[in-house]
Amino acid sequence: MRIDDYKQGNLEKVVEAGEKAKASQERLNAVVSFCDIEEQIKDYKHTQSDLLFQTPVALKDNINTKGTRTTASSRILDNYIPVYNATIVDKLKAAGAVFVAKTSMDELGMGGTNLNAYTGKVNNPWDLQRISGGSSGGSAALVAEGVVPLAIGSDTGDSVRKPAAYCGVVGLKPTYGRISRYGIIPYASSLDHVGLFTTTIKDAATALEVLAGRDDNDMTTSYKPVEKYSSLLNSDLQGKRIGVIKNVMDAIEDKTIQETFKQLLDKLESRGAIIEDVVFDTDLMNALLPTYYVISNAEATANHSNLDGIRFGVREDGDDLTSIMINSRTKGFSSEVRKRFVIGSYSLFTENQDKIFRKAQKVRRRIVDALKEKLASYDVLLASAAGSIAPYPDESYGEKLSATYLVAENHMLLGNFSGYPSITVPNAIVDGMPVAVNLLAKPFEETLMLSIAKAIEEECGLEGYCREVSE
């Protein structure tokens, strides 16, 4: 399933993608709302020179689409219909994309399993009993199912890259500021990134060309010119320096994943890559998750203080203004989200800010400084994207404070703390399920990162692979 499969001048294939999305709903439960495809193609005037000519695209349901319900998979936003498009929606449309569906997510992006969406669990296309990963699990599932060749997600901790690993597709999170977040319902503003899912590195590069660039509506976006990522791909690894994050690999208990990773390293070395172990301070790696919890939940608490049933959102009855807000927020949010708001609020109390929130910010700075130091000697850092295949819901690591969970399952937070670009690439099929590796590069070095990812794709032989193809 590739973008080029749709560039044959036949809009019927786009309509078929919409029908396929609807047909997959009972199986995957990956969609919150379906888009009006007929209305979009009625006056379609694009040409084959457009990068996304006649390409069906799925959007995570935290991306504002004018006139189309956008809930962020939360009950409190069940009636929210945006009056404007997110910048990336306009960019995708200008490049020729046709929107098929708004996809399920962990509520407000707060989760890594896609189990707490208002519409229920998203099923993994490879095994319906397993999780898809989150929070962008709906988008990952539709690409893995072969419904669309491109889906958009957002990544605050690893919310594009982890579901990409569990569902066996490519998941790209570029440099912070590379893609506009204007019109994206936020989670944590200093950590949020727009990301994307495809089945090939070339398609990921093409999509990044469309999405990247300065946006005056988002003052965090960079003025740095957008490169022609797809035409600059070069999978020559001769002399490329790849650092393997040893902390992560040592924390993984699954011997099969360890073995498939070692086999990949041997292949990369045979192509001329220089592979070396990189060891981070153990305390800093163990601090990734608690630091993330403090910062992300504090920012989320501030970002979503306006979801009170008064200014907008679903309103519950009450005897006075205070009771209306309490009832609306109590019924409007899941217990998981309410828990995170409690954590965020506690860390923002005046008496707690220095000992909790500001301390977490200082730890984040130390983590980023350590990452910058390690990356200075390498083109990319590499590790397994997850410590296991996609788990069943009751086998999910949850929040156990084991080395496997703290390090192996949360190391991709390095890319959000730093804002550095990162990509997940399928590596192998283990016990009928996909496993993947993750690359992390220096800021704005997407071209180099994508090129090394392309070499990995060539060695693993999973380009364009999806569940539909495997049957």
Q: Which residues are catalytic?
A: 60, 135, 159
Residue 268 structure tokens: 């990369």
Measured in Å, how far apart are the chain's first and last C-alpha atoms?
14
Contact 428, 260 (CB under 8 A): yes
For 75, phi then psi, to 5°, come to -60, -35
31/235 Cα distance (integer angstroms): 35
Contact 208, 95 (CB under 8 A): no
123/377 Cα distance (integer angstroms): 40
Place of tokens 């095994």: 127
Place of tokens 């979503």: 304
Residue 267 structure tokens: 């292949």
Specify the 3-state DSSP secondary structure of 428: strand
How many CA atoms lie less than 13 Å away from 193 in the CB half-sphere? 31
The H-assigned helical ranges of 150-254 are 161-167, 201-211, 246-251
Contact 202, 230 (CB under 8 A): yes
